[in-house]
Amino acid sequence: MITVLNTVRKAFRLEGEILEMHPLTDGGIHGTYQIRLKTGKNYIFQQVNTSVFQNPDAVMQNIVRTASYLEKYVPEMQVLHFYQTEQGEYLFQNWRVMDVIHGYSMKTCENLYQIQQAGKAFGAFQKAVSGMDSAGLVQTISGFHDTKAYFQELLHLKSSLPEMEILRNWQEQACFVCDCYQKGKLPFQVTHGDMKCSNLLFDRETNQPVAVIDWDTVMSGMPVYDFGDAVRSFASNVSSSETDLSRVGISMPKFEAFVSGWLSECPQTDRNLLIPSVFSVTVELAVRYLTDYLQGNIYFRITHPEQNLIRARNQIRLAQELLKHQSEMEKFL
Ligand SMILES: Nc1ncnc2c1ncn2[C@@H]1O[C@H](COP(=O)(O)OP(=O)(O)O)[C@@H](O)[C@H]1O
Ligand SMILES: [Mg+2]
């Protein structure tokens, strides 16, 4: 590994041998390492997962464009800074190098203060990019959050599972938000695309977020879906792999913490679509898990053959819980 990392170091013209190397494992998509060089300088070396991101050059183009927009118009925001090779490339054999941002990350946020701070940080990010022209960004994952397309794919498959019927009955309601954007009633905007706890760095002293990281899915999207997906991940009682469905649900204190943080920074997000979006992204994920299960588990990594079916049931249960709490959630907005 050190030999590979030293080759990468040289490609990015960084002086000094590698002294230390620590794998950073909160992510799960790429191979990420914090590197300390003899010069005393620290860097993040990352091997891009090209089965998820098939066009890594376009991913880098989107990130660099977003960083330069933010540097110009929102200078107080901490941006990702990537290095270039001698040829001016941001990738060398699918490796990239960026500056370390000081702070700690966590797989999940447990206390309400952190969740509220996370809401603030992601709301501030959404607000910061809202003035940027999203047409200038490349759609690096085709069909990303196209709920209608995910439904079409599932409903073409043959299955007598009861989950299929439940999802079929939710199709119209779950596609409502997506439809509003696709019909041009609302503008697509630049979105982060992956607003979860491990994509924040927190200050060691104040425990407040210092940066939103992992900009690989920054592209043209639906801001309310980013909100919905964040609520799904920050306010769920359990993870999507929980097998005891009686434990699946939404925590209202966590929901309120996240939403109060988000709205304090980004009050202009289309309010009447915020809660419907939480339902839409949850159902969308259930649809994707069930599709993958029926197609032989090609996309989501599994450790046992029924895992994607269990994940689909888990998200269906969460969607049912969301419907139960809908009016309570809406009151809070
Ligand atoms: N610029 C950075 N400074 C410090 N730590 C970082 C930086 N970028 C990533 N990390 C750490 O590496 C982890 C994985 O990086 P990330 O870009 O989120 O990759 P993945 O797509 O695999 O989630 C993060 O959760 C964080 O702990
Ligand atoms: Mg990440």
What crossing angle do the helices spanning 56-73 and 112-129 adopt, rounded to 10°?
Answer: 90
Q: Are 209 and 118 in contact (CB under 8 A)?
A: yes
197 and 319 fall within a common domain:
yes
What crossing angle do the helices spanning 307-332 and 162-182 adopt, rounded to 10°?
Answer: 50
Tokens of 131: 């003035």
- From 102, 213, 217, mutation site for ligand 1 pocket: most ligand atoms within 8 A of C-beta: 213
283 and 153 fall within a common domain:
yes
Look at residue 315 in the predicted model and tell me its pLDDT: 98
Question: What does the DSSP 8-state code read for residue 23?
Answer: E
Query: Concatenated DSSP letters for 193-245?
Result: S---GGGEEE-TTT--EEEE---TT-EEE-HHHHHHHHHHHHHBSS-TT---G
Residues in the ligand 1 pocket, defined by CB under 6 Å: 24, 26-30, 32, 44, 80, 98, 100-101, 105, 198-199, 201, 213-214, 216
CATH number of the domain residue 241 falls in: 3.90.1200.10
84 and 119 fall within a common domain:
no
94 and 138 fall within a common domain:
no
Q: How far, in Å, from the CA of 212 to the mean position of ligand 2?
A: 10
127 and 252 fall within a common domain:
yes
Is 90 exceeded by the pLDDT of residue 76? yes
Q: Is 44 a member of any domain? A: yes
146 and 15 fall within a common domain:
no
Tokens of 294: 């029926």
Look at residue 190 in the predicted model and tell me its pLDDT: 98
Q: How far, in Å, from the CA of 98 to the mean position of ligand 1?
A: 10
228 and 249 fall within a common domain:
yes
SS3 state at 146: coil
Tell me the pLDDT tens digit for each residue of 40-51: 999 999 999 998
93 and 70 fall within a common domain:
yes
Q: Are 35 and 9 in contact (CB under 8 A)?
A: yes
Q: Is 283 a member of any domain? A: yes
- 323: amino acid identity, one letter: L
Q: Is 105 a member of any domain? A: no
Q: How far, in Å, are 128, 176, 198, 279, 281 from residue 315 at the CA level?
A: 31, 18, 20, 10, 10
139 and 164 fall within a common domain:
yes
Q: Is 159 a member of any domain? A: yes
Of 44, 76, 99, the one marking the end of a domain is 99
- From 29, 51, 100, 214, mutation site for ligand 1 pocket: most ligand atoms within 8 A of C-beta: 214
Question: What does the DSSP 8-state code read for residue 134?
Answer: G
174 and 95 fall within a common domain:
no
Of 77, 99, 121, the one marking the end of a domain is 99
Tell me the pLDDT tens digit for each residue of 220-229: 999 999 999 9
Look at residue 301 in the predicted model and tell me its pLDDT: 86
Q: Which pTM was predicted?
A: 0.95
Mean pLDDT of the region 148-159: 98
90 and 121 fall within a common domain:
no
Q: Is 185 a member of any domain? A: yes
CATH number of the domain residue 88 falls in: 3.30.200.20
Q: How far apart are CA 188 and CA 176, in angstroms?
A: 15
- Whose CA is closest to atom 11 on ligand 1? 24
Is 90 exceeded by the pLDDT of residue 71? yes
Look at residue 269 in the predicted model and tell me its pLDDT: 76
Domain range enclosing 79: 2-99
Closest-approaching ligand to the CA atom of 201: 1
User: Which candidate, 285, 194, 195, places its Cα nearest to that of 241?
Assistant: 285
Pairing between β-strand 189-191 and β-strand 209-212 as defined by DSSP bridges:
unpaired
Q: How far apart are CA 199 and CA 203, in angstroms?
A: 13
Q: How far apart are CA 286 and CA 280, in angstroms?
A: 10
123-127, 216-220, 252-256, 269-273: segment of lowest average pLDDT:
269-273
Indicate which atom in ligand 1 lies nearest the CA of residue 26. 25
What crossing angle do the helices spanning 147-155 and 162-182 adopt, rounded to 10°?
Answer: 150
Look at residue 28 in the predicted model and tell me its pLDDT: 81
Of 59, 75, 99, the one marking the end of a domain is 99
117 and 210 fall within a common domain:
yes
Q: How far, in Å, from the CA of 327 to the mean position of ligand 2?
A: 32
Q: Is 107 a member of any domain? A: no
User: Which candidate, 182, 150, 179, 180, places its Cα nearest to that of 292?
Assistant: 150
